[in-house]
Structure 1
Amino acid sequence: MGKYRFGPWAILSACSLSLVACSADGGEGSVVSPAANDSRGTEQVPPEKPVRETVACPTGRVPIDATSLAFDGERGHVAMGDAASLALEQFTLEGWVRRDGFGVPHAAGEGGPSLVPIAGRGSGNYVLGFAEDGELAADFENEEGVHHTVLGKTDISLGQWHHLAASYDGTTWRLFVDGRLDAELVAKTTPRTSGAQSFAVGSMLDASGTPTGFLKGAVDEVRLWDHARSASEIAASMYRRAARGSGLVGRWAFDEKDRGAPDSAGTNHGSIAAGAAFVRDGAILDLGFPPALRGTPSVDGRRATLDVKVDDPDSAAFSASFYVREVTAGEDFTIVVLPDTQYYSRYPEYSKYYYDQTKWIMDNAAAYNIVGVIHNGDVVDQVNVESQWQVADKAMKTLETKSARFPEGMPYGVGAGNHDQDPFGTAGGTVKYNQYFGTSRFQGRSYFGGTYSANKTDENWVTFSGGGLDFVLVDLQYSSKAREAAVLNWTKNVFAQHPNAFGIVNSHHILNADASFGAAGKSIYDAVKTTSNVQLLTCGHISAESKRSDQYGGRTIHSMLADYQSRANGGGGYLRIWEFSPKNGELTVRTYSPTANKFETDANSQFTLKVDLSGAGNASFKSVAKLDLADASGVRTNVDGLAPGKNYEWYATVTDCAHVVSSPVYRFSTK
């Protein structure tokens, strides 16, 4: 069975964009709630939460409520004891895993890598887990004490189920993600099986049986084989239960009905510790493969044909639903960026510019629909002069004014500049900065996400929303050199934890005046370019304006520098106004001084960038068509009566009874 497409008989005549739901015969049908990705679905989760539909199931299929075991990332784990029968020199360890957070990493044995464990025997025989940057990893130690670690290439997304596996055939490590080879490493040695080694899921157990390192997420259908399985074997069986099998030496289903963690393939039954509990969400097994969707719109005047191709190797019966909404100009919103304020804080005669900036933001929050503020750093000029911090404190407190619209004040994030560090320009020397802009200032503000270092906002992240779209802003302190791998991995993880949010990085120095990357900026860009949602990088530090746009993996990432400190009056109060237009998929940048009431309009100060604002907008998606089919070969529907010259978004959901998957959100414009 392969890719299919409906013939003309299956084209729906949907109602006009009063958006009444239509059934196959053109009459009014039931409105179906939009569905997000199945655990193995397509790329993008639609903006509304899934609701499983009741459909006529194909023969032999029934909807099920799958369960799994969830771990709190603090103490939860399952211990199987010494498990001498699981001491293996060749093996395949596999299971379904939903990664929900960072977890707690731990070194896999002396001199071994730091991993967040999924499962394994001790910290020396073998362990499967996550590297600190979120990729899959596996490790074993040989009898000589040398560790052999294989690192995956795929960032494992948070909140979604993935089938993960590691195999070792006596020569080569291999990692598999969702049935596909992800990485391999030639080791040509034998894993150590001697010594006290206890098998566990959700943690590693040391020689005394004490858990070290903890998974935050859920696990389902963990299996251990006494040989290296091939890629085809792993892919063919990952959607099936396997209570028995040739070479299967351990299998833990983690089904709530089993009342524990019994080993259906052996005698190594698990003991579930506090911090691990069953949840009604798990891998959907023994009901075939989920469908995969690909869609394209075609527009002819005021009619749009929405076309989804369905690829499912084991089913041809589906229920499909389409959802459409108009993206209007009324969804526009604004973010304000404050470049270096150091001289406004230092010189009393310039402080009015800082005060005018934050006052203008609050006075115009409604008119411009301002939803958040970014400070590029260098809050002050002389870090140890108390009066400068007091000016900054007073200016920024204006943003914290509470109102009906902003009950916690205007959401904002600040990145520490080199002038905010002591000794001058030294990362981590931020005692004074944290006294005024540390965690205590943001305590209780729901938009403040967290920090890299406990009780220090040197690196932090915040959230805000505009036009129905969520934003995640990561603030990184100044560095004169490439940022540390640990900080960059943390940054990537923050964005990975919010895969459907629009990502922005704010760091004091990213670009130079000629739009080339500085050392820190290059390291930041190289790290975040592999994420799926970072689109903007913003900075100050160098008194100039510059910008650049880079392409990576089919995406565009824009970087912008704005700093006016070398101008008259310490910069004259110029700030950046970012105006987002979901209707047009654009960001227009303007440069403005509230004190002078003046815009700069040269090409470096005012320009428009294309950005992906899919999913933005407060208008709800409306169901325009639903079809139950006994022989699905794709889905197509026409939407008539669209307004000319408008922008619309749409997506489709398909269920084969066992699985619910969704296409990405697509955008089209009428003529």
Structure 2
Amino acid sequence: MGKYRFGQWVILSACSLSLVACSADGDEGPGAAPSNDDHRVTDKVPATPPAVPAVACPTGRVAIDATSLAFDGEGGYVTMGNAASLALEQFTLEAWVRRDGFGMPHAAGEGGPDLVPIAGRGGGNYVLGFAEDGELAADLENEEGVHHTVRGKSDISLGQWHHLAASYDGTTWRLFVDGRLDAELVAKTTPRTSGHPSFAVGSMLDESGKPAGFLKGAVDEVRLWNHARSASEIADSMFRRATQGTGLVGRWAFDEKDSGAPDSVGTSHGTLSKGAAFVRDGAILDVGLPPALRGNPSVDGRNVTLDVKVDDPDSAAFSASFYLREVTAGEDFTIVVLPDTQYYSRYPEYSKYYYDQTKWIMDNAAAYNIVGVIHNGDVVDQVNVEAQWVVADKAMKTLETKSARFPEGMPYGVGAGNHDQDPFGTAGGTVKYNQYFGTSRFQGRSYFGGTYSANKTDENWVTFSGGGLDFVLVDLQYSSKAREAAVLNWTKNVFAQHPNAFGIVNSHHILNADASFGAAGKSIYDAVKTTSNVQLLTCGHISAESKRSDQFGGRTVHSMLADYQSRANGGGGYLRIWEFSPANGELTVRTYSPTAKKFETDANSQFTLKVDLSGAGNAAFKAAATVDLADASSVRATVDGLAPGKNYEWYATVTDCAHVVSSPVYRFSTK
């Protein structure tokens, strides 16, 4: 048995702790099978987990000080020049890649698909990169100028290292993610080898050497082979340096000590541009495989067992640390939704309702812990009437009042409605809308993330935080028909760039009065339902209240409609108050008029939804216990005597000296 080091359960009032280490085939003990009612698992991992205590490394295993080449996504790349040895008809291109952001896509040759490049002869031979919706993709062009593009299926998580590869055997494209086949495409063509495009990493260079498209992230251990490697060959060697091998025609280790980007097996040495720099983070190679973790929490009344299975085929020695926190009701927070304000903007006698709404939000920001505001669109009723925009501008400026809590004003997002479009109801006709709510209005506000189209907020995204949880809101303008694939891919990409954030889509028309999807709403839902962090869709447009909850892939997406414009006084100032409770995993929706000082409490106006708020909470994870093991593959911490009816979150971190791996965050409730 290994040596145990105990921490203190600093967030618990009274409990006892014991640690048990066991082998994979050992006794699992009572209650090992988890109950779905007692715990949840999420793919969210704390952004800054506590440091893992050092573990005594076995002989021959040492911690690695790895480096890689990072690219800024704006102009950084490295070029290996136009080497004839790199113009191939059959090949395997592989690399370790950490994608940190969207980057800058560009066409892979004339008539080719838009890709964010990783590496290749992208000006007209072959290129490996990322497609618009974030999946791995590769393209080749034949001598006739015809492009053959294969697209992957796996989500490539941002901020994490992945081994990515593409092979072509003269007939079939194949993509590999972390050593596993991800997609394939029969092309039956010969890649173009004529012309003079240069091989590059981080960008694509045309025949004149001009770069286009840029990767935002880091790359390590790039290898190019003159044949298609098998899946087993790729998997077997991806955690090792390849300093030689039959058919290896280029290899760039991107080690800072090499003073540049030399080709260790050939003469195609790389030249770094501005925007490419070495960083002390890279693929961990030549020290075996990283451990894989599987959490298995079980709850029995007021006791809980935190159990982590460790699969590390080439090492029996590792250090496991547990972290725990309580999620309390004191961390509740609120988002406010403003349904269509068009008649408040149009009729002077109704403008007070709009002014009262935004004033109430700021006056009650502390009492309700309001962290953000969503406007569903139809800011005005008649797009070309200046006076209506003046009213809307004045009302929304109240949200921009600066304070110690909100130095940039209250974070908010707006989606253009059909009445905000000119010609009426025409997507893209938003000149007036952008005059008042364009990018210039949000310049300098850090919560404003960006836009789909340059200098236009027709489609935009913003961020805000509540209860220790980050939110990403994507605002999409009104459309009477299904949204374009490019817009939907952009939307998915925004959420993919923030995998640990709670995702919300705001578009003017998503649901109808009977809770069925409109054409645009159906296309939006179908696009984001595969994006694991989107949980809420919100809209107006139809004067009604409705809601629906759809299940996909084991999770729930809630869609809500609220619009009161057909009621007396243009809607009477009713808004939606979304109250989030991380402790209970719930969102309570309430409907309120600040002018009438009245809540509406029927079932369509006030209700509670279950949402996944795992990872929310301002309390820090505290180190609970650490155990060093030399002969076990499972470690278990048992907590006794927890307070009943409370909610806790925990995760574990394991290191085998060379690798550090964190489990997902798990949540459990005591009974």
Partner of 1:34: none
Q: Is the counterpart of residue 172 in structure 1 residue 172 in structure 2? A: yes
Contact 1:461 1:474 in 2 (8 A): yes
Over 3 Å counting, the alpha-carbon distance change for 1:47 and 1:330 in structure 2 is: farther
Contact 1:141 1:148 in 2 (8 A): yes
Partner of 2:534: 534
Contact 2:74 2:103 in 1 (8 A): yes
Partner of 1:3: none
Q: Is the counterpart of residue 221 in structure 1 residue 210 in structure 2? A: no
Contact 1:469 1:615 in 2 (8 A): yes
SS of residue matched to 2:488: helix
Equivalent residues in 2 for 1:385-400, closer than 5 Å? 385-400=385-400
SS of residue matched to 2:297: strand
Deviations 1:393-417 (A, max 9, x none): 1111111122221122111111110
Equivalent residues in 2 for 1:108-507, closer than 5 Å? 108-507=108-507
Q: What is the CA distance between 1:81 and its match in structure 2?
A: 1.4
Q: What is the CA distance between 1:170 and its match in structure 2?
A: 1.1
Q: What is the CA distance between 1:48 and its match in structure 2?
A: 2.8
Q: What is the CA distance between 1:212 and its match in structure 2?
A: 2.0
Deviations 1:608-636 (A, max 9, x none): 10000001111111111110111121110
Q: What is the CA distance between 1:15 and its match in structure 2?
A: 5.5
Contact 2:342 2:379 in 1 (8 A): yes
Partner of 1:575: 575
Q: What is the CA distance between 1:294 and its match in structure 2?
A: 1.1
2:251, 2:76 → 1: CA distance? 19
Equivalent residues in 2 for 1:495-574, closer than 5 Å? 495-574=495-574
Contact 1:12 1:638 in 2 (8 A): no
2:139, 2:450 → 1: CA distance? 31
Partner of 2:39: none
Q: What is the CA distance between 1:244 and its match in structure 2?
A: 0.6
Q: What is the CA distance between 1:50 and its match in structure 2?
A: 5.2
* Greater Cα shift, 575-584 or 387-396: 387-396
1:184, 1:106 → 2: CA distance? 22
1:498, 1:636 → 2: CA distance? 31
2:618, 2:421 → 1: CA distance? 41
SS of residue matched to 1:520: helix
Deviations 1:330-356 (A, max 9, x none): 011110100000001111111111111
Deviations 1:279-331 (A, max 9, x none): 11111111111111111221222221111111122111110111111111101
Equivalent residues in 2 for 1:8-23, closer than 5 Å? 17-18=12-13
Q: What is the CA distance between 1:20 and its match in structure 2?
A: 9.9
1:12, 1:371 → 2: CA distance? 38
Contact 1:23 1:625 in 2 (8 A): no
Contact 2:7 2:626 in 1 (8 A): no
Over 3 Å counting, the alpha-carbon distance change for 1:444 and 1:10 in structure 2 is: closer
1:20, 1:642 → 2: CA distance? 6
2:436, 2:71 → 1: CA distance? 37
Deviations 1:10-32 (A, max 9, x none): 99898683599989699xxxxxx
Deviations 1:423-482 (A, max 9, x none): 001111111111111112112212111111222111111111111111111111111111
1:504, 1:15 → 2: CA distance? 35
SS of residue matched to 1:381: coil
Deviations 1:588-608 (A, max 9, x none): 001111111111111111111
Partner of 1:36: none
Partner of 2:63: 63
1:146, 1:25 → 2: CA distance? 61
2:261, 2:244 → 1: CA distance? 16
Partner of 2:616: 616
Contact 2:17 2:639 in 1 (8 A): no
SS of residue matched to 1:493: helix
Q: What is the CA distance between 1:133 and its match in structure 2?
A: 1.5
Contact 1:13 1:637 in 2 (8 A): no
Q: What is the CA distance between 1:59 and its match in structure 2?
A: 2.0
Contact 1:20 1:623 in 2 (8 A): no
Identity %: 88
Partner letter of residue 244 of structure 2?
R
Contact 1:564 1:570 in 2 (8 A): yes
Contact 1:44 1:663 in 2 (8 A): no
Partner letter of residue 537 of structure 2?
L
* Greater Cα shift, 198-207 or 46-55: 46-55
2:465, 2:278 → 1: CA distance? 33
Contact 1:474 1:506 in 2 (8 A): yes
Deviations 1:339-377 (A, max 9, x none): 000001111111111111111111111111111110000
SS of residue matched to 2:140: strand
Contact 1:19 1:623 in 2 (8 A): no
Contact 1:323 1:624 in 2 (8 A): yes
1:47, 1:167 → 2: CA distance? 34
TM-score (norm 2): 0.94
Partner letter of residue 390 of structure 1?
V
TM-score (norm 1): 0.94
1:362, 1:146 → 2: CA distance? 58
Contact 2:346 2:381 in 1 (8 A): yes
1:122, 1:563 → 2: CA distance? 49
Partner of 1:37: none
Q: What is the CA distance between 1:388 and its match in structure 2?
A: 0.8
Partner letter of residue 482 of structure 2?
A
Equivalent residues in 2 for 1:14-53, closer than 5 Å? 17-18=12-13, 43-49=43-49, 51-53=51-53
Count of aligned pairs:
650
Contact 2:5 2:627 in 1 (8 A): no
- Structure 2 gaps, min length 5: 22-41
Deviations 1:478-532 (A, max 9, x none): 1111111221121111111111111111010111111111111111111111212
1:21, 1:443 → 2: CA distance? 52
2:111, 2:408 → 1: CA distance? 47
Over 3 Å counting, the alpha-carbon distance change for 1:437 and 1:19 in structure 2 is: farther
1:202, 1:47 → 2: CA distance? 26
Over 3 Å counting, the alpha-carbon distance change for 1:274 and 1:14 in structure 2 is: closer
Contact 2:43 2:665 in 1 (8 A): no
Deviations 1:528-577 (A, max 9, x none): 11212111000000001111111112111111000010111111111100
Contact 1:653 1:661 in 2 (8 A): yes
RMSD of equivalent CA atoms: 2.1
SS of residue matched to 1:344: helix
Q: Is the counterpart of residue 644 in structure 1 residue 644 in structure 2? A: yes
Contact 1:624 1:639 in 2 (8 A): no
Over 3 Å counting, the alpha-carbon distance change for 1:43 and 1:160 in structure 2 is: same
1:292, 1:21 → 2: CA distance? 28
Contact 1:447 1:462 in 2 (8 A): yes
2:559, 2:123 → 1: CA distance? 43
1:98, 1:667 → 2: CA distance? 28
1:446, 1:184 → 2: CA distance? 41
Contact 1:13 1:638 in 2 (8 A): no
Partner of 2:35: none
